[in-house]
Amino acid sequence: GVQPPVRGLRASPRARSAMPSWVIDRYGCNEVLRFTRNMVFPTILFPNEVIIKVHAASLNPIDLSMRSGYGATALNMKRDPLKLKSAGDEFPLTLGRDVSGVVMECGLSVSYFKPGDEVWAAIPPWKQGTLSEFVVASGNEVSFKPKRLRHTEAASLPYVGLTAWSAVNQVGGLNQSNCSGKRVLILGASGGVGTFAVQLVKAWGAHVTAVCSHDASTLMKKLGADDVIDYKSGNLEEQLKTLPLFDFILDNVGGSTEKWALDLLKKWSGATYVTLVTPFLINMDKLGVADGMLQTGFTVGSKTVKHLFKGVHYRWAFFMPSGPSLDEIAELVDSGKIQPVIDQVFSFSEVPKAFLKLEGGHARGKTVIDVISKK
């Protein structure tokens, strides 16, 4: 029979030291992606960590950014705050932030999970990613996978779900008890974050106006958007100005939109504009770390003050890993209020193809990698 695991030892007596993984050895275009069978097997370094056997992963725009080296300054500072390693030590680097899979072993202080549990998580960008057979995560980043989803479906949600959650709930202050009847505008509604945000505020009873390209309007209606506006048909600004003012705007697009979109908010009523397009990582790369932080702080400060005089709140949001938030998201999924929106599922051998698909843009929903099917 199988020996029961002895606490304090590994949950799996294994002699493995390597695993299959997709890695990059330098930043660049798609040809930097390399498949290897001898990526270092993850080890538990902290007592709150778990090792997850990856069943499925999915791609997000941040994977393209990281492949190209965007944000490398900031991420390396986070990986190695004391600057103990030499430059280039971040390689080989595994991309992929989303995981749905099964807990394989647990650190000594993990009481919430045990080997065999089906879980999902979004792994922060300064850690090795999920395009790999196994990945290590902190227990506080992990949550039980929604029961009604298969792994390939579940893997599509954590990163975009937590990004939307951070923007709408933590930064934007919306929740199930204050959303009823609020008018919400979502710019860039057909991407991964957008499709999640539409369903989330809809589940909480808001009236949702979704802005996307025309070919996504059927999808938007299916997800429950009340008004769908095609940003290509005529002047978007003019179209939106004919509508009643909004209580909340979520901006996934950024750029010139900001100049006029704030005027679409109700004044002096606590209305909030939250943008996910932050110059934080770009500034870090251009200006170096300390200056990058200063400049970023200055931009946020001056923008916030400027808009407060106009009677609206202006906020930035970004992805934050969180097991507890994923627990709440799992509840919404299992109660049928949020469903995954998947554009295409690729096998583990097709990762470069999946990156090309993501790079082509205009996906309706997520690009998922089925890691476990070894075809």
Cα–Cα distance measured from residue 255 to residue 302, given in angstroms and rounded to the nearest whole number:
17
In a shared domain, residues 153 and 226: no
Nearest one of 173, 322, 327, 304 to 250, comparing CA atoms: 173
Burial of 36 (0-12, 13-18, 19+ CB in 10 A): middle
What's the rounded mean pLDDT across residues 335-363?
95
Q: Please, where are the H alpha helices in 288-336? A: 289-309, 323-334
The continuous run of DSSP H or E covering 49 comes out as: strand 49-59
In a shared domain, residues 113 and 198: no
In a shared domain, residues 137 and 181: no
Q: Considering the domain boundaries, does residue 32 fall inside one?
A: yes
In a shared domain, residues 197 and 306: yes
Inform me whether the pLDDT recorded for 6 exceeds 70.
no
What's the rounded mean pLDDT across residues 144-170?
98
In a shared domain, residues 35 and 111: yes
Q: Which residue has the higher pLDDT, 25 or 87?
A: 25
Q: What is the DSSP string of 102-126?
A: EEEEE-TT--S--TT-EEEEE--TT
What's the rounded mean pLDDT across residues 330-348?
97
186 — phi, psi (to 5°)?
Answer: -120, 115
Q: Which residue has the higher pLDDT, 371 or 231?
A: 371
User: Using an 8 Å Cβ cutoff, are 328 and 184 in contact?
Assistant: no
Inform me whether the pLDDT recorded for 124 exceeds 80.
yes
Q: Between the ranges 4-13, 256-265, 341-350, where is the mean pLDDT highest?
A: 341-350
Cα–Cα distance measured from residue 171 to residue 179, given in angstroms and rounded to the nearest whole number:
14
pLDDT interval class at 1 (50, 70, 90) = low
The vertex-60 CA angle with 149 and 325, nearest 5°, equals: 55
Nearest one of 316, 322, 337, 319 to 60, comparing CA atoms: 319
In a shared domain, residues 136 and 183: no
In a shared domain, residues 228 and 304: yes
* pLDDT computed for residue 81 by the predictor: 85
User: In CATH, what number is assigned to the domain containing residue 25?
Assistant: 3.90.180.10
| Token digits of residue 311 | 């009677």
In a shared domain, residues 109 and 216: no
Q: Please, where are the H alpha helices in the chain? A: 61-68, 72-79, 151-154, 158-165, 192-203, 217-222, 236-241, 257-261, 280-287, 289-309, 323-334, 351-359
Please confirm whether the linkage preceding 92 is cis (ω < 30° from 0).
Answer: yes
In a shared domain, residues 133 and 250: no
Inform me whether the pLDDT recorded for 246 exceeds 60.
yes
Inform me whether the pLDDT recorded for 87 exceeds 80.
no
In a shared domain, residues 241 and 214: yes
pLDDT over 70, % of the chain? 95
What's the rounded mean pLDDT across residues 282-301?
78
Q: Considering the domain boundaries, does residue 66 fall inside one?
A: yes
* pLDDT computed for residue 140 by the predictor: 97
The continuous run of DSSP H or E covering 143 comes out as: strand 142-144
In a shared domain, residues 46 and 127: yes
Cα–Cα distance measured from residue 198 to residue 206, given in angstroms and rounded to the nearest whole number:
9
* pLDDT computed for residue 287 by the predictor: 78
Residue 73's domain spans which residues? 18-158+340-370
Tell me how many domains the chain contains. Answer: 2
What's the rounded mean pLDDT across residues 249-257?
92
User: In CATH, what number is assigned to the domain containing residue 264?
Assistant: 3.40.50.720
Q: What separation, in Å, do the N-terminal and C-terminal C-alpha atoms of the chain show?
A: 31
* pLDDT computed for residue 9 by the predictor: 47
Q: Considering the domain boundaries, does residue 312 fall inside one?
A: yes
* pLDDT computed for residue 20 by the predictor: 97
Inform me whether the pLDDT recorded for 8 exceeds 80.
no
Q: Considering the domain boundaries, does residue 10 fall inside one?
A: no
Q: Considering the domain boundaries, does residue 375 fall inside one?
A: no
User: Using an 8 Å Cβ cutoff, are 119 and 146 in contact?
Assistant: no
In a shared domain, residues 23 and 91: yes
* pLDDT computed for residue 2 by the predictor: 61
Q: What does pLDDT average to over the chain?
A: 92
Inform me whether the pLDDT recorded for 80 exceeds 90.
no
Q: Considering the domain boundaries, does residue 226 fall inside one?
A: yes
pLDDT interval class at 46 (50, 70, 90) = very high
Q: What is the DSSP string of 189-224?
A: TTSHHHHHHHHHHHHTT-EEEEEE-GGGHHHHHHTT
pLDDT over 90, % of the chain? 75
Q: Considering the domain boundaries, does residue 109 fall inside one?
A: yes
Q: Considering the domain boundaries, does residue 5 fall inside one?
A: no
